[in-house]
Amino acid sequence: MRPDPDISALVAEYTALRRQLHQHPEIGLETVQTVSFVKSKLDEYGIQYEDIGVNSLLASISNGKGDITVAFRVDMDGLEISEKNDFAHKSQVEGRMHACGHDGHCTSLLAFAALLSRNKEFNGTVLLLFQSGEEGHEGALRVIEDGLFEKYKVDYLFGYHAMPGVETGKIVVHKGACMASEDRFEILVTGKSGHASMPHVCNEPFAAVADIIKGLQTIIVRKVPSHERGVVSITQVHGGSLRNGIPDSVLVQGNVRTNNESTQNLIEKNVKQIADGVATMYGVEAELDYVRKHPVLVNTVPGMAISAAKRAVGNENVITDMESSMAAEDFAFFMQHTKGCYVWIGNGTDSAPLHNSRFDYNDEILPVVLRFFAEVVREIL
Ligand SMILES: [Zn+2]
Ligand SMILES: [Zn+2]
């Protein structure tokens, strides 16, 4: 299929709709109003859809007899941040805003639905997935559990994120890892409480906690090969309630990012080894709870995305050598079931960062998204 010659009319309409959506952010899996807005537009275009997951929506458009299915996924949820922008379309809900651009992701896929409904030059099926709960609420897992891959043969899946710091008009495609894994851990260090004046009759946990934290800081520099990337951050330490008392236990929490599974395995092994080793040294208990939240997002068909992107924005505007991000993205769960690619579309070099109280989706990138999606369909169907 080719991009609609009248793309500019869609851009005007969807810029207004995007700004409307920006004013009414919903959080997590509670994207009720956003989903009904999406349904009303799909009804207008006569596109079939069904509810899937928790407040997520799956639309489908078929043409011809082709049996290949290409899916596009966007997210819809906002964040619990108070918006500091003062433009007319600022969030009307105090303490909530679309600080990650999911308002723009959502409306751009709807605009693409409009394009598909009037321009059916493809042979096969296009699925459009509007997903809730991307911001740490496991929205993708709910969609998978609800049978996305049992109900549909999804041959390819594509998604994107508007990316601050990347020029408007440019598309970034990673030839492997694109977004990081995320693991979270807690270590509960338990000794024996007592009076601060008599540590010899207690078994105080703080010295062990200090050594565990110091030990964890050495994993990246001493254990992970220097050509690999990873992050180990301590995020919380809780313990004690008295000025003159030694507590029973102290809780340490941390967050781990990597761009490949072997580094992820290596870090998990070392966190355990350090916690156990230090606990033995001090004669305290160290109970580790290590949870893998997100897998690494690895693009498996970057070649398809690169050629579609080149046709959409020209060879000179496709970047293929940018470092992957250490942020996680739940699109990675879908990629455990099918082939696909997740790209970044430049939100501008003067854009506020993601999750910043002054962030706003750059409406100028909508034509870039539409051309890219249209070229993906042309490439595959
Ligand atoms: Zn986000
Ligand atoms: Zn996001």
Ligand 2 centroid to Cα of residue 333, in Å, is 15
> In the prediction, which pLDDT does 2 show?
53
- Centre of ligand 2 to C-alpha 313, Å, is 23
Q: Which one has a higher pLDDT value, 6 or 178?
A: 178
Distance between CA 50 and CA 48 in Å, rounded? Answer: 7
Closest C-alpha among 77, 47, 112, 167 to residue 355: 77
Q: What is the pLDDT of residues 177-222, one digit of tens each?
A: 999 999 999 999 999 999 999 999 999 999 999 999 999 999 999 9
Beta bridge partners, 255, equal 184, 233
Distance CA 363, CA 160 (A): 15
- What pLDDT sits at residue 118? 87
C-alpha of residue 100 to centroid of ligand 1, in Å: 5
Q: How far is the CA of 93 from the centre of ligand 1 (A)?
A: 18
Strand 171-172's sheet: what is its strand order?
48-52, 56-63, 124-131, 69-75, 156-164, 339-348, 171-172, 318-319
CA 207 to chain centre: 37
Predicted pLDDT of residue 4? 54
- Ligand closest to 102 (CA) is 2
Ligand nearest to the CA of 131: 2
Query: What spacing in Å lies between the alpha carbon of 37 and ligand 1's midpoint?
Result: 21
DSSP-derived 3-state class of residue 269 = helix
Q: How far is CA 273 from CA 50, 280, 286, 287, in A?
A: 48, 11, 11, 12
pTM for this prediction: 0.91
**What would the mean pLDDT of 279-289 be, rounded to a whole number?**
98
**197 — phi, psi (to 5°)?**
-80, -10
Q: What's the 109 CA to ligand 2 centre distance in angstroms?
A: 15
pLDDT at 3: 52
Domain extents in the chain = 7-179+296-380, 181-294
CATH architecture of 7-179+296-380: 3-Layer(aba) Sandwich (3.40)
Confidence of residue 269 (pLDDT cuts 50, 70, 90): very high
pLDDT digits (tens, 9 = 90+) for 16-61: 999 999 999 999 999 999 999 999 999 999 999 999 999 999 999 9
pLDDT of residue 6: 65
Tokens found for residue 204? 């105080």
Q: Give 197: exposed, middle or buried? Use CB within 10 Å, 0-12, 13-18, 19+.
A: exposed
**pLDDT per residue over 329-371, tens digit each?**
999 999 999 999 999 999 999 999 999 999 999 999 999 999 9
Distance CA 70, CA 296 (A): 22
Residues around ion ligand 1, judged by CB within 5 A, are: 100
Residues around ligand 2, an ion, CB closer than 5 A: 100
Q: What is the mean pLDDT of the chain?
A: 96
The rounded Å distance from CA 90 to ligand 1 centre is 18
CA of 134 to the centre of ligand 1 (A): 7
Cβ count near 221 (within 10 Å) = 9
Whole-number Å distance, alpha carbon 282 to ligand 2 midpoint, is: 43
- Give the pLDDT confidence of 104-150 residue by residue, as tens digits: 999 999 999 999 998 888 999 999 999 999 999 999 999 999 999 99
- Residue range 181-294, CATH number: 3.30.70.360
The CA 104 to ligand 1 mean position distance, Å, reads 13
Burial (Cβ within 10 Å: 0-12, 13-18, ≥19) of residue 187: buried
